[in-house]
Structure 1
Amino acid sequence: MIFARIKWLYAVIVIFSGMTLMIVTFYLLPKPYAVKFSAWFIRLLVFVPVQIKGSPDPDAQMYLINHQSDIDIGIMETITSKDLAWVAKKELFKVPFFGLVVRLPKDIALERESKTALVKLIKDCKDRLDHGRVITIFPEGTRTETGQMKPFKAGAKMVADKFSLKVQPVVLIATAWHFSNKRKIFNSGTMTAIYLDSFVADKSNPEWLNETREKMQHMYDSALLELPRYH
């Protein structure tokens, strides 16, 4: 138990150091290299190779990703060269220190349960798209460590429908087994990230977001069966 806590504490220190590195180098490196550099710093020091399945679409304008762990962002940043614009709850932008991590790269603040905030979300997403960035969302809206994805929030669909975005789902497998702040655990080892086929958002289909969730859940469940370490 003590050794497990030490491993977790080591990972926390590495993650904190990586975020500090991003803040320090942000104005020294071209965008988005400070973010990528810090993400690679974390990945290499916590010894988590990533096996990538499927093919990233070079024309993708939005990524939808399931969310289990604090390291999900770092994993995604290292498996794509794209400049990602993360959508995160507004409260995170006000947290000391961590607020800088999301404010400096101009990630997108989302105020939950607010209709007026959705107007700002649309405007901010348009700005990031105009600058060649990829809108990146955890559509569940929060972490879940069970492997059962929560219902997807409507914000992702609203943005994708508004701009007819090319959407690519990405499924991360059992990242909470590798790192969980809630359970204070850390396990190194190879992670798996799966790019699903991309598609253009079709607002005439009101169910495409739910259908995407079902496809992502099916892929997650199938991949998990092939990875006995997580059983």
Structure 2
Amino acid sequence: MIRYLFIFIWTIISTITLSLVAICTAFFSRNGNGPHEIGRRWGKSILWVSGIRIQVKGIENLDLSKPSVFMCNHQSNFDIPVLFSALPAQFRWIAKAELFKIPLFGRAMRGAGYISIERKERRKAIQSLREAAEKIRSGVSVMIFPEGTRSLDGNIGEFKKGGFFLAYDAGAQIVPIVLNGTWSIMSKDSLAIRPGNVTLSILPSVNVTDYSKADKSRLIVDVRERIVKEFESNKALKEGNQ
């Protein structure tokens, strides 16, 4: 109980403190890289105090010479500090609008150039994706959770179309990212953070130009199948080692 309380207090204090630093940094970092680096430090501090260890696989698949649409399965709120700290790339989050309404934290997100998306308003959601496409065409990568929400049971849900339309619109490669372990650390219905191990897998990129616009459904299926296959492989490996 004392440990959980310490982690909770640390998270609140570090979030407030580094949000203020990120807001100040945004005035001197027009491209948003500075605030994102502050976010990376925030993520690492959360992992450190929580006793989380991360294994990164497939780093050779990461091509930083071109902008990408990173697509990651969404197990837990803990996915955010993990991706911040363990993915060695500058990217901009495409995140639900509710996060941008959090005092200080939301201001820091805007300062970093992250993109708010109204999931319940189609017109605003489309406008947000157009904004994201412009960022990608200017050379900036983005991160999206194609499931649209966190997993209820730790498994991978169905993928929504928005991120794939974005990749087509921007002409960007899709880089599938797979997380294993964050759901057991912090499930959707819990605020408790448990120590544990996380595997972050970077899969080979998917070139959307290999798919015609008529094949969008096949693209979604192919990307999801790659993520599910890696997820289940990592899961089986972990269970076999226990």
Q: 1:57 aligns with which of 47, 57, 63?
A: 63
Q: Is the 8 A contact 1:224 1:230 kept in 2?
A: no
Q: CA deviation at 1:7?
A: 3.4
With normalisation by structure 1, the TM-score equals 0.87
Letter in 2 for 1:36: R
Residue matched to 2:123: 116
Q: Is the 8 A contact 2:79 2:182 kept in 1?
A: yes
C-alpha distance after superposition, 1:131-175 (max 9, x if no partner)? 543110011111114232111111101100111111101100020
Task: State how far apart, in whole Å, the 2-side matches of 1:82 and 1:222 are.
Answer: 25
Higher helix share: 2
Residue matched to 1:9: 5
Deviates further, 156-165 or 52-61: 52-61
| 2:105 pairs with 1:79 | no
Segments of 5+ residues of structure 2 without an aligned counterpart are none
Segments of 5+ residues of structure 1 without an aligned counterpart are none
RMSD of aligned C-alpha atoms? 2.4
Letter in 2 for 1:24: L
Task: State how far apart, in whole Å, the 2-side matches of 1:51 and 1:166 are.
Answer: 24
Task: State how far apart, in whole Å, the 2-side matches of 1:181 and 1:113 are.
Answer: 20
The structure-2 alpha-carbon separation of the partners of 1:216 and 1:63, relative to structure 1 and needing over 3 Å to count, comes to: same
Task: State how far apart, in whole Å, the 2-side matches of 1:162 and 1:130 are.
Answer: 9
C-alpha distance after superposition, 1:15-71 (max 9, x if no partner)? 223322321211248513211221122122222121011122323511101111112
Task: State how far apart, in whole Å, the 2-side matches of 1:74 and 1:84 are.
Answer: 13
Q: Is the 8 A contact 2:50 2:195 kept in 1?
A: yes
Task: State how far apart, in whole Å, the 2-side matches of 1:13 and 1:101 are.
Answer: 20
Percent identity of equivalent pairs: 24
Corresponding pairs, count: 227
Q: 2:41 aligns with which of 34, 37, 41?
A: 37
Residue matched to 1:186: 193
C-alpha distance after superposition, 1:181-215 (max 9, x if no partner)? 62343221321111111112245122211221122
Residue matched to 1:211: 222
C-alpha distance after superposition, 1:105-143 (max 9, x if no partner)? 221111124332244123321343255431100111111
